[in-house]
């Protein structure tokens, strides 16, 4: 079954999140009638948090589903990415936890779509929700209150925490995940600085962003960071944060690159850093050298030749293959590095 049909069967209206605001507002007005609609709009304008809106909605499950339907396109996109990643990793999780999963529609659809036959648990503080399936168990706990002896090998969360609630979310993931388990979350993070702080916060909680699986999802005019987490004792440094901001927040696959005059000027800023890797090869008509400079925890790769050409790339990884003359020579021939910036 297609996900939109599935959601309609459960009483949601995915068409209300198609980017046409008037359609959503018209549905709200029709449901609430004029007086209560005006009251809702006034309250919504003054609400300081999602919990404030929830308190206004009270036990009106119909209104709750309309409000959730207004952003459900985002949730669908996140769930599509989660399903795709699980397929890509070729994993079959046996115990799945959904943090902030309302009535369990997402985790139940995932389970059915991939035919996992997993044990499904949802943590959601709202007592209104009834599970969409007998396979789903809903616990009305806060993330801090939840505790389990049997850990989960997959944890998901779709918009399951505001910015000020991410620490509690990460702490719950850490205490609930198996040693080799994975957590996949979609969060609203408003800017690069907050994203970098979230990377560091994960490290403090014993989790690490897996760079190759992190990206930014664009849904209409909103960007939602899609984050893959695993257990780790490593604490992310400035280089890790910068790499993740580029890849996970800005969807930039490659390091920042400078050449020519810009590279020469930039070199003045980093030349007093520590050289942590170097390679040099002499050719018949000259030589090429690659060095990696570390300054303020950022790794910069400088490539130069006897003609005076310079390329600087950052942030880079400290691995042997990428930081060799042979590798750079291959790239120069295929990408024309001497004459292009990123």
Predicted local distance difference test score (pLDDT) of residue 47: 66
Q: How far apart are CA 230 and CA 220, in angstroms?
A: 29
The model's pLDDT over 141-181, given as tens digits with 9 standing for 90+, comes to 999 999 999 999 999 999 999 999 999 999 999 999 999 99
Query: Global pTM?
Result: 0.91
**Which ranges of the chain have pLDDT less than 50?**
none
Architecture of 72-249 per CATH? 3-Layer(aba) Sandwich (3.40)
The model's pLDDT over 247-305, given as tens digits with 9 standing for 90+, comes to 999 999 999 999 999 999 999 999 999 999 999 999 888 899 999 999 999 999 999 99
Predicted local distance difference test score (pLDDT) of residue 150: 93
Joined together, the tokens standing for residue 168 give: 């509690």
Predicted local distance difference test score (pLDDT) of residue 18: 83
Structural domain spans, the chain: 3-69, 72-249, 256-339
Query: Shortest CA distance to 117 belongs to which of 92, 150, 86?
Result: 92
Across 43-176, where does the E strand assignment appear? 95-99, 119-123, 136-139, 152-158
Residue pair 301/254 in contact (Cβ under 8 Å)? The answer is no
């Amino acid at each position: 079954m297609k996900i939109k049909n599935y959601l309609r069967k459960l009483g949601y209206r995915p068409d209300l999140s198609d980017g046409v605001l008037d359609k959503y507002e018209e549905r709200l007005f029709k449901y609430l009638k004029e007086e209560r609609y005006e009251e809702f709009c006034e309250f919504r304008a003054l609400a300081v948090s999602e919990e404030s809106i929830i308190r206004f909605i009270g036990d009106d499950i119909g209104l709750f589903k309309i409000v959730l339907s207004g952003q459900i396109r985002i949730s669908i996109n996140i769930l599509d990415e989660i399903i795709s990643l699980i397929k890509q990793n070729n994993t079959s999780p046996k115990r799945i936890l959904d943090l902030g999963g309302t009535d369990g529609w997402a985790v139940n659809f995932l389970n059915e779509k991939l035919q996992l036959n997993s044990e499904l648990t949802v943590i959601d503080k709202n007592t209104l929700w009834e599970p969409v399936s007998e396979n789903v168990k809903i616990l009305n706990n806060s993330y801090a209150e939840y505790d389990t002896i049997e850990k989960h090998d997959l944890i998901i969360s779709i918009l399951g925490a505001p910015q000020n609630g991410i620490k509690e979310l990460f702490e719950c993931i850490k205490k609930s995940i198996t040693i080799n388990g994975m957590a996949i979350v979609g969060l609203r993070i408003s800017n690069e600085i907050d994203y970098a702080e979230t990377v560091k916060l994960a490290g403090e909680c014993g989790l690490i962003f897996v760079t190759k699986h992190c990206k930014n999802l664009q849904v209409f005019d909103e960007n939602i960071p899609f984050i893959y987490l695993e257990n780790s004792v490593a604490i992310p440094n400035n280089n890790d944060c910068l790499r993740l901001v580029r890849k996970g927040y800005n969807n930039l696959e490659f390091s920042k690159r400078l050449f020519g005059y810009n590279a020469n000027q930039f070199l003045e800023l980093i030349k007093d850093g520590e050289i942590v890797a170097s390679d040099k090869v002499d050719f018949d008509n000259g030589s090429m050298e690659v060095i990696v400079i570390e300054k303020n925890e950022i790794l910069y790769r400088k490539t130069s030749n006897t003609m005076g050409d310079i390329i600087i790339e950052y942030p880079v990884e400290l691995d042997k293959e990428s930081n060799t003359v042979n590798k750079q020579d291959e790239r120069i021939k295929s990408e024309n590095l001497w004459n292009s910036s990123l």
